[in-house]
Structure 1
Amino acid sequence: MTPASSAKHDRRPPYQHAADELRREIKAGRYKPGDQLPPYRELQERFGVANMTARSALNVLRDEGLIYTIQGRGSFVADYEGSGIDYTPPAWYLANDSKAADAESSEGAAEKIGADSGAAAGSTLTAMLTALRDELRALSAEHQALRREVEELKKAQQSQS
């Protein structure tokens, strides 16, 4: 099934559909940690999308921590289960994917995203977004500190030379 066939009732961009399908395959175990994903050209043909659309789909998965890319080699499935990364699919994915929502609901995902009612979903979503914002700020601060440390190490190395 290509994402285009389900796009009639779902107005999300094609790259989201391609990312959804690849995410399902990774979660189902078709691609195991360390496995290489198909190259962009194969993804273009499979999903009937442009090169940049295929790249955008992989960027989504990379941003979620499901895959990593090595320049000139390709994209590979990350070991998100053994790496300490607590992967939880995005709320919009769970809301749009009944199979994933059914599978995750046994783990309490419905309560996490507030699927009980519209008001609860809004407040829970707001809480999740606030928590994500705070986490991004903390990661950004840590990133900046690491960049400063790298610059200091470079300067120290240059002064020793």
Structure 2
Amino acid sequence: MTPASSAKPDRRPPYQHAADELRREIMAGRYKPGDQLPPYRELQERFGVANMTARSALNVLRDEGLIYTIQGRGSFVADYEGKGVDYTPPAWYLRNSASAPAKVDVAIGPSGEGESGSPDAAGPSLVEVLTALRDEIRALSADHQELRQEVEELKRAQQQDPNS
């Protein structure tokens, strides 16, 4: 058994762990644009998660524009270069992961095309603010989902033992 880490435990849902790992592999070039990602069953086995959890991980990547899905065929890596994909790993991820990918520094310009971003001395750009808001909404959504599951478990327990 490995000793407990002094760092705060990562309480993210499993689908976010899987999405981060797949994103890291896409950004590193293991999966290139047009490549098919493994099917849900392989992702389930690889990450030790349920089918819906694997689907949720791919949904995150689809929402970010990194992949697209063709019904009945599978999920494929999108040609995201130059299309304004701006993924910044959340701060907790950067703190807790030595192998975290660097920010993909592509901002959406006035024409809607990707442009190399540069730090703005006046403060965060609109893209940075929206990215931070998106990440916060995802974290809140994950917390909400956890709470819903806890409520369902409590309801089931109460139905099994009505004298409580």
Taking CA–CA contacts closer than 8 Å with sequence separation of 6 or more, which of the two structures ends up with the larger relative contact order?
A: 2
TM-score, normalised to structure 1, is 0.58
Query: Structure 1: which 5+ residue stretches go unaligned?
Result: 1-7, 115-122, 134-161
Are the counterparts in 1 of residues 86 and 104 from structure 2 also a CA contact under 8 Å? no
Specify the alignment match of 1:89 in structure 2: 87
The offset of 1:20, in angstroms, is 0.1
Call closer, same or farther: CA 1:30–1:91 in 2, change over 3 Å. closer
SS of structure 1 residue aligned to 2:99: helix
> Residue by residue, what CA displacement relative to the aligned partner does 1:33-55 show, whole Å, maximum 9, x if unpaired?
00000000000000000000000
After superposition, give the CA deviation of every residue in 1:138-160 in whole Å (9 maximum; x if it has no partner): xxxxxxxxxxxxxxxxxxxxxxx
**Aligned CA distance change for structure 1 residues 17 and 111 (closer, same or farther; 3 Å):** farther
Identify the residue that residue 47 of structure 2 maps to in structure 1.
47
CA positional deviation for 1:85: 1.4
**Contact 2:37–2:74 (CA under 8 A) maintained in structure 1:** yes
Q: CA deviation at 1:109?
A: 8.3
Taking structure 2 as the reference length, the TM-score comes to: 0.57
Distance change in 2, residues 1:129/1:74 (3 Å): same
| One-letter identity of the residue aligned with 2:130 | L
**What is the total number of aligned residue pairs between the two structures?**
114
d(CA) in 2 for partners of 1:47, 1:132:
27
Contact 1:36 1:74 in 2 (8 A): yes
Answer yes or no: is the 8 Å Cα contact 1:104–1:110 preserved in 2: no
Tell me the distance in 2 between the aligned counterparts of 1:109 and 1:99: 23
**Counterparts in 2 of 1:11-160, with a 5 A limit?**
11-81=11-81, 84-92=82-90, 95-97=92-94, 98-100=98-100, 103-104=102-103, 124=124, 128-129=129-130
Q: Which has the higher helix share?
A: 1
